[in-house]
Structure 1
Amino acid sequence: MYRYEIKFSNDIPKYLEISKHIKKLIDENNIDDGEKLLSIRKLAKILKVNEVTIVSAYKKLEAEGYAYQKMGSGTYAKRRDTNIKFKKEYSNTLKKISSQNLKSYVDFTGEITSSEFFPVTVFKDVLNEVLDRDGTEAFAYKESLGYEGLRNSISAFFWDNKVSSEDILILSGAQQGIDIVSKSIINVHDNVIVEKPTYGGALTVFKWRRANIFEVDILEDGVDLIQFEAILKKNRIKCFYAMSYFQNPTGATYSFEKKVRILELAEIYDFYIVEDDYLSELIYDNKEYKSFKSLDINDKVIYIKSFSKIFLPGIRLGYMISPQKCKEYIQNSKINTDISTSSLMQRALDLYINKDLWKEHISRLNTAYKDKYNFMLDCIEKYLGDKASYYTPGGGIHFYFKIATDLKINSMELFYRCMNKKVLITPGVLFYKNAKEGNNYFRLSFSEIKKPEIEEGIKIISEILKEK
């Protein structure tokens, strides 16, 4: 137990020195995230202090987010989110680039469809038709679950009426859905599993709820099941957050076999799967994918879908399907959050779907993005093939890269050097609980840029990597 050796000062309370020392051990990875700390009695004996001092030290660690207690089991280490500093730094840097100046950059950070594909004219006609049809009724907040017409359309068009419209809750986008689920089912120190790496917005929400976050490496066909099951065996897990299609940031898609096994594990270990259906419409490899929700026979999946990424970002619409057991909690949480999502936009989207305009829009998007996807692949192979490893997602809007180990450059350094040459990338540090683990990764999205910019940007990134 040499790592707990402390030289006490007469000027500082012993419990403060103990908590400071343990924090340092956790920050420097000498104590693993989730590792059980020594019992109060044992540590008091080692340090030759009374047990009340250790209790005070452990309470301070808990208060500062460095530890959590399991009833009847003991106190466990909790590594703090080192991502905050990097995220703030990255965000502030992008904010300094005005919208006007942004046009001079090759921007690989975008996560929405290009404005050239926004169906503005058609949607304006649909809005006018809704206003002519419904008048002032189009602005009413009457239905807490969302506009019934839209819920019926979602049930029919996307789920072949296999999901009741009463189980569908209209949201203001996927981020609100994650937030509502978190408020509804996650309490302080509850255990959640996330993919590693994963969407930074989800990490922020779970962190805000003060949940204990366990990360599991994501492979090309979904999370590593050996790691996943090991965590399940040792911990009482409340939920698993997963992006089932073209995961952000890696682009990975779960295999059918892994989905089935994870659903079995959800029943065995009694946890919910929070499925964020990110980009299931943008499939270029002609494979047939099935969501966790479509395979769910035990009512263990909370399904979240956003229309913002592939339609009009400004309309902020999405929906959620909840298991019966937690449906009431989730619906009440939504009502307490914002009462109702824009009635006019819900009615307009409903009409847009029923006129088969949605189907046409997605068909156009697939054609255009498949072409850009294949062009991006060619450019990556031509310019980055020997400088970074990656795999082909087969759909979606981005690629995730691991910088070759011999290049000795980290993702934040690459971000700044690219920015100085008018290219914007997303550094991998944003997608991990421990930012250091993303040092060798970066993401490129092709959703909002044209082919000439794609090639120009990738050439510049290649030249910068070559300099090292």
Structure 2
Amino acid sequence: MKNKFAERARIVKSSETREILKVTERPEVISFAGGLPAPELFPVENLKNACNAVLDEEGAASLQYGTTEGYIPLREAISHRMKGIGINSTIKNVLITSGSQQAIDLTGRLFINEGYTIICESPTYLAAINAFKSYDAKFVEVVMDDGMVMEELEKKLNNHPDTKFIYTIPDFQNPTGRTLKLERRKRMIELANQYDVLIVEDNPYGAVRFAGEELPPVKHFDTENRVIYISTFSKIFTPGLRLGWICADETFIEKYVAFKQTADLHTDSLAQRITAKYMEIYDMEEHIKKIKAVYKTKCTEMMRSMKEFFPKNLSYSEPEGGLFIWVELPEGIDSTHIFTECLKNNVACVPGTPFFPNGTQKNTLRLNYSNMSNEKIIEGIKRMGEVLHRELEKELTLL
């Protein structure tokens, strides 16, 4: 039989990170590869209580079809959270999605035609790259230091008048862990208004700040309703329930709803009701405080271990929240080779190359600190350090 696939099937490929995670499932491997939350923080007993309450009080309704927009009490709770971080919204501005990944994919379906330009940070979130590539988008990358550099963003906007939207992860960015400075957030809005482009603000990590000063989201400064804000319960609650949301102008939400109806009709009704009930019975902010305290300890331990065991000529981000540390190796070192050698030593990381939409940089690594115990963090970084010292010394002998 001849190939019957649509052209987009040629473009879409499996996520490199997901493929790496398959390799790291061996129990002897200490994995810093995934973006997995700490499982010991999942509120299992409280979730049981919330689930029982939902089934006792509204059993049949919780198992029935629901509206595409989402369960109203959950949308109300999300709208309340949005107001708490400086985003004015009502439930009319909130759409529940099946994880933030669906929100990203729907954004691609809604706004991208073949050849449309997206401006993003360099590097950026791999799953967003893959989603937008499936709609045949072109990527224009903007360099980062403390987040996207606004002077470079302005140049890119000027040189690419066909830009559809700016995709940004302003808080504890995946993969770098960096945070966009306050003045740059304001400037991004000014530039978006000037060049009449949308901003897609992807913010799964903003609530997980364990150091430094709280910053308002980019959407807080939105004066023309051009920012589409995406977030998720995966990092502040549980990823397995697959609940995310979009907060945007009603005109956008109406179109998102129409596209979501062609995808899954609505997000899991039971998961939505359980989450809403949990937020009714328990204090979500107290739960998030526990997460932040644990992640601060884990991040501090990883940073300390890196300073002790890694070669001194590496540079790395020092995040104030989120889940990731970004490591930059000397020029000429291929992180894919480092990954392979580390895996032989039963420790795993993620090579940085796939996070660059146009494949421009090979000497970077992403490390996740949220999922391993402190003891495994120390041992895993020690093992990585052994590999890095050996491979960097080999490189020096070749020069």
- Check if 1:117 corresponds to 2:41: yes
Q: Secondary structure at the match of 1:241?
A: strand
Q: Deviations over 1:136-190 (max 9, x none)?
A: 0111223220000111111124425931111100011111001001111111111
- Show structure 1 runs of 5+ residues with no match: 1-63, 66-79
The one of 156, 171, 177 aligned to 1:231: 156
Q: Is the 8 A contact 1:387 1:465 kept in 2?
A: no
Q: In the TM superposition, what is the alpha-carbon distance from 1:191 to its structure 2 partner?
A: 1.3
Report the residue type matching 1:396 in the other structure: G
Identify the residue that residue 3 of structure 2 maps to in structure 1: none
Q: Is the 8 A contact 1:170 1:318 kept in 2?
A: yes
Name the CA distance, whole Å, in 2 between partners of 1:215 and 1:332: 31
Identify the residue that residue 373 of structure 2 maps to in structure 1: 450
Structure (1 or 2) with the larger CA radius of gyration: 1
Identify the residue that residue 74 of structure 2 maps to in structure 1: 150
TM-score (norm 2): 0.90
Q: In the TM superposition, what is the alpha-carbon distance from 1:459 to its structure 2 partner?
A: 1.2
Name the CA distance, whole Å, in 1 between partners of 2:117 and 2:266: 30
Name the CA distance, whole Å, in 2 between partners of 1:457 and 1:262: 39
Report the residue type matching 1:290 in the other structure: P
Q: Secondary structure at the match of 1:386?
A: coil
RMSD of aligned Cα (Å): 2.2
Name the CA distance, whole Å, in 1 between partners of 2:170 and 2:141: 16
Q: In the TM superposition, what is the alpha-carbon distance from 1:94 to its structure 2 partner?
A: 4.2
Cα 1:418–1:174 change in 2 (3 A) is: same
Cα 1:92–1:201 change in 2 (3 A) is: closer
Name the CA distance, whole Å, in 2 between partners of 1:307 and 1:464: 36
Q: Is the 8 A contact 1:245 1:280 kept in 2?
A: yes
Name the CA distance, whole Å, in 2 between partners of 1:93 and 1:155: 36
Name the CA distance, whole Å, in 1 between partners of 2:144 and 2:102: 24
Q: Secondary structure at the match of 1:371?
A: helix
Name the CA distance, whole Å, in 2 between partners of 1:203 and 1:348: 31
Q: In the TM superposition, what is the alpha-carbon distance from 1:296 to its structure 2 partner?
A: 1.3
Name the CA distance, whole Å, in 2 between partners of 1:400 and 1:352: 34
Name the CA distance, whole Å, in 2 between partners of 1:129 and 1:185: 40
- Check if 1:341 corresponds to 2:270: no
Q: Is the 8 A contact 1:244 1:275 kept in 2?
A: yes
The one of 288, 296, 309 aligned to 2:222: 296
Identify the residue that residue 28 of structure 1 maps to in structure 2: none
Alignment of 1:7-26 (within 5 A): none
Cα 1:330–1:137 change in 2 (3 A) is: same
Cα 1:92–1:277 change in 2 (3 A) is: closer
Identify the residue that residue 422 of structure 1 maps to in structure 2: 346
- Check if 1:329 corresponds to 2:255: yes
Alignment of 1:34-49 (within 5 A): none
Name the CA distance, whole Å, in 2 between partners of 1:165 and 1:349: 16
TM-score (norm 1): 0.78
Q: Is the 8 A contact 2:82 2:88 kept in 1?
A: no
Report the residue type matching 1:167 in the other structure: N
Name the CA distance, whole Å, in 2 between partners of 1:195 and 1:92: 23
Higher RCO structure (Cα 8 Å, ≥6 apart) = 2
The one of 212, 219, 223 aligned to 2:145: 219
Q: Secondary structure at the match of 2:240?
A: helix
Q: Secondary structure at the match of 1:315?
A: coil
- Check if 1:95 corresponds to 2:22: yes
Report runs of 4+ in structure 1 exceeding 6 Å deviation: none
Alignment of 1:383-462 (within 5 A): 383-384=309-310, 386-405=312-331, 408-435=332-359, 437-462=360-385
Q: In the TM superposition, what is the alpha-carbon distance from 1:433 to its structure 2 partner?
A: 1.9
Name the CA distance, whole Å, in 2 between partners of 1:93 and 1:165: 39
Name the CA distance, whole Å, in 2 between partners of 1:466 and 1:241: 36
Name the CA distance, whole Å, in 2 between partners of 1:441 and 1:219: 15
- Show structure 2 runs of 5+ residues with no match: 1-6, 394-399
Identify the residue that residue 279 of structure 1 maps to in structure 2: 205
Name the CA distance, whole Å, in 2 between partners of 1:247 and 1:385: 24
Report the residue type matching 2:244 in the other structure: G
Name the CA distance, whole Å, in 2 between partners of 1:93 and 1:210: 25
- Check if 1:465 corresponds to 2:392: no
Report the residue type matching 1:381 in the other structure: K
Q: Is the 8 A contact 1:188 1:210 kept in 2?
A: yes
Identify the residue that residue 202 of structure 1 maps to in structure 2: 128
Identify the residue that residue 108 of structure 1 maps to in structure 2: 32
Identify the residue that residue 159 of structure 1 maps to in structure 2: 83
Name the CA distance, whole Å, in 2 between partners of 1:331 and 1:319: 12
Identify the residue that residue 170 of structure 1 maps to in structure 2: 96
Q: Secondary structure at the match of 1:314?
A: coil
Q: In the TM superposition, what is the alpha-carbon distance from 1:339 to its structure 2 partner?
A: 0.5
Report the residue type matching 2:320 in the other structure: G
